[in-house]
Amino acid sequence: MKVIVAAAGTGGHINPGIAIANEIKKQEPNSQIIFLGTTRGLENDLVPRAGYELKHINAYGFNRSISWENIKKIWQTFCSVGEAKKIIKEEKPDVVIGTGGYICVAAGMAAKQLKVPLVLHESNAFPGMAVKMLSKKADCIFLGFAEAKDRLPKARKAVVTGTPTKVKKVNISQEEKQQIRKRIGFEKDLPMVLAFGGSQGAKSINNSLIQIIEEQKNQNYNLIWSAGAKGYEELKQRWGEKIDSYANAKVVPYIYNMEELYNAVDLVVCRSGAMTVTEIMTVGKPAIFIPFPYATENHQEYNARVLADRKAAKIILDKDLMAEKLNIEIENLIRYPQVLKEMGITAEKIAKKDVEKHIYEEIRKILPLKRIK
């Protein structure tokens, strides 16, 4: 199979594309896969690191506001359809796969003009502008959440597959949890709460956690908090040597062993990007979501409500976030281990299994067999 994957900008678009590409290579080792991106996004690091070739076009993200800068970006993105067509003509792919974001507009329009099968993956419960624009043209749209299906009424075919993620559920014994707790540096055997706001941190979450730690509100739980690189540097300036001496709290700039911690902790406090919500469902953990309020179409709140509406998570809106409110919510949950357990079980039940394989099988269904070699 020969494939072009259009994935650019953020890890939330690029990592699902890489996961789908890896599954195609697993199922058909002789497949040729090329990624389409821009010169500006994370694809320039993640795609070569995954072992795939990356080609560039000059597409841009844009919003619905009227400004000369936005009009210029829209014009450049539509001009990049020609760049995408040139690459597609050269590579002659069997299918073009788009994983959301502005790059999909150019790649998707080019694919359909050249009569090349087009499939899309939408991670969010509220579909993004690019997927909605292409929903009538795509041969199939793979959905991370069932809730997205009714929001794509013009889609020719939509299949709920879930979103690919590298994070997996691992059964960790109590003894292993104790070892992890000691390795982090927690002295007391208390419930563990993992908090983060993404690789760059989240200011509102950070401000609340600073107050919780400084006022030592976390007496009944151990808090491991990834503050992001910038947030961590600001904390070092604020706290100095005290940064490692607050009781029951460990602050780090970034968490590299996320899978291990997801599986070891009792509760997660975080934003609700599609990938984060998928990871939490996969490992089966209860969560307190604080949706990013400026996400396009408020999609993070829609993602969070997929779990909250089933009583598998709690939501605190960013505008309502205060240290006292967050701490009370954490305390109310950790006080009842059985409730936490039931929330985690519910979250895991919602998670889709064998996501990558399901997507591969759906792609194979739409491709003419004679073209697959």
More confident residue, 340 or 228: 340
Q: Could you read off the pLDDT of 210-241 as tens digits, one per residue?
A: 999 999 999 999 999 999 888 899 999 999 98
Determine the Cα–Cα distance for residues 167 and 182; give it in Å rounded to an integer.
23
The whole-number pLDDT of residue 59 equals 76
Q: What's the pLDDT at 102? A: 84
In the sheet that 192-196 helps form, which strands lie side by side, from edge to edge? 249-252, 222-226, 192-196, 267-270, 287-289, 313-315
pLDDT at 275: 94
Confidence tier at 65 by pLDDT (50, 70, 90): low
Confidence of residue 73 (pLDDT cuts 50, 70, 90): low
pLDDT tens digits, residue range 118-154? 999 999 999 998 999 999 999 999 999 999 999 999 9
Q: How confident is the model at residue 68 (pLDDT cuts 50, 70, 90)?
A: low
Q: Report DSSP letters for 40-60, one per residue.
A: SSTHHHHHHHTT-EEEE----
Identify the residue with better confidence: 79 or 365. Answer: 365
- Length of the chain in terms of residues written: 373
173 forms beta bridges with none
- The strand pair at 32-37 and 2-6 is best described as parallel
At the top level of CATH, the class of 174-350 is alpha beta
**297 burial level (CB within 10 Å; 0-12, 13-18, 19+):** middle
Place 370 in a pLDDT band, splitting at 50, 70 and 90: very low
The predicted model gives 179-208 an average pLDDT of: 89
Confidence of residue 373 (pLDDT cuts 50, 70, 90): very low
> Residues of the chain with pLDDT > 70: what percent?
93
Percent of the chain at pLDDT exceeding 90: 83
Q: At a CB cut-off of 8 Å and minimum separation 6, what does 134 contact?
A: 98, 104, 105, 108, 109, 118, 120
CATH topology of domain 2-162+353-371: Rossmann fold (3.40.50)
Domain boundaries in the chain? 2-162+353-371, 174-350
